[in-house]
Amino acid sequence: MCLGIPMQVLEIEGVFAWCDGRNGRRRINTMLLDDVVPGQWLLTFLDAAREAIDAERARTIDAALDALEMVAAGDANFERCFADLIDREPQLPDHLRKDKSP
């Protein structure tokens, strides 16, 4: 299984970027993306950037990864990691809705 890790660009070095994230500072291949700039957030897989994301999405992904670590450690009190989902009705994706309206 491959997990996407959000990382923030610190500096650009050709087709690579030095980024900082939950696993420290890493050299990330950015060849699959257009212009990458310092301060930007990237979703990375195996030290390669696949997508530029915003800071809010980076926080949401990091929270989900925190929850995975908590479960792996035997801690079942991970509701805080999904604050955006608590007290919210589940939503079907558009392609599964009968009426096809949001």
| Each residue's pLDDT tens digit, 18-34 | 999 998 999 999 999 99
How many whole angstroms separate alpha carbon 96 and alpha carbon 44? 29
Tell me the average pLDDT of the chain: 89
Q: Give the pLDDT of residue 29.
A: 98
How many whole angstroms separate alpha carbon 6 and alpha carbon 22? 8
Q: Give the pLDDT of residue 36.
A: 97
Instruction: Render the chain in DSSP notation, one character per residue.
Output: ----EEEEEEEEETTEEEEEETTEEEEEE-TTSS---TT-EEEEETTEEEEEE-HHHHHHHHHHHHHHHHHHTT----GGGGTTTTT------GGG-SS---
This prediction has a pTM of 0.76
For the beta carbon of residue 28, count every other beta carbon within 10 angstroms: 24
How many whole angstroms separate alpha carbon 41 and alpha carbon 19? 9
Q: Mean pLDDT, to the nearest integer, of 58-70?
A: 91
Is the predicted pLDDT of residue 102 greater than 70, yes or no? no
Q: Mean pLDDT, to the nearest integer, of 62-75?
A: 88
Query: How much of the chain exceeds pLDDT 90, in percent?
Result: 58
Q: Give the pLDDT of residue 33.
A: 96
